[in-house]
């Protein structure tokens, strides 16, 4: 067995990796979930859900752009740690937001659809964080 760390794919090839596909799923699923849940709804519960989805969209899109544009090479940051903790913390927040929304309005079909897409986004976040940790352990 080789003890070498796998190299991180950057550039447009990043879109074909598991992490790239997960980030695309995170952005698209969160965007559609925000649209479904945000239509004609208001209140604190929906604000929590929409802020979780908005964070998912914004940060995942920024990371996707940084990796596909090769800007991560220029910015010397511990990207594996940043991404891992981002995925874990946002997943916990997103799960709580989904549970609150589905508990309050479990009979409205578009809310259920938004919740299911939120669960898909959380699954993508967890898979992305796991793949990142598997390829680049934190220690």
- Domain boundaries in the chain? 12-135
With bands split at pLDDT 50, 70 and 90, how would you rate the model's confidence at 2?
A: very low
- For residue 134, what are the CA distances in angstroms to 52, 69, 124? 25, 23, 15
Q: For the residues 65-80, what does the mean pLDDT come to?
A: 86
pTM, rounded to two decimals: 0.84
Q: Is residue 9's pLDDT more than 80? A: no
Alpha-carbon torsion 100, 34, 57, 28, what sign?
positive
Q: Which of 8-12, 51-55, 103-107 has the highest mean pLDDT?
A: 51-55
Q: For the residues 19-31, what does the mean pLDDT come to?
A: 93
Q: Is residue 10's pLDDT more than 80? A: no
The residue among 89 and 133 whose pLDDT is bigger is 89
Taking only the tens place, the pLDDT of each residue in 90-112 is 999 999 999 988 887 767 788 88
- Per-residue pLDDT at 65: 92
């Amino acid at each position: 067995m080789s003890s070498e760390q796998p190299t991180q794919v950057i550039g447009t090839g990043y879109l074909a990796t598991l992490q790239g596909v997960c980030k695309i799923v995170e952005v698209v699923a969160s965007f559609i979930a925000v649209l479904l849940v945000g239509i004609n709804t208001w209140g604190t519960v929906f604000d929590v859900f929409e802020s979780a989805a908005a964070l998912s969209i914004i940060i995942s899109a920024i990371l996707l752009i940084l990796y596909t544009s090769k800007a991560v090479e220029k910015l010397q940051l511990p990207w594996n740690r940043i991404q891992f903790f981002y995925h874990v913390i946002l997943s916990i927040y997103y799960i709580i937001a989904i549970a609150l929304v589905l508990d309050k309005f479990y009979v409205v079909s578009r809310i259920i659809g938004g919740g299911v897409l939120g669960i898909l986004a959380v699954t993508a976040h967890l898979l992305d964080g796991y793949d990142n940790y598997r390829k680049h352990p934190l220690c």
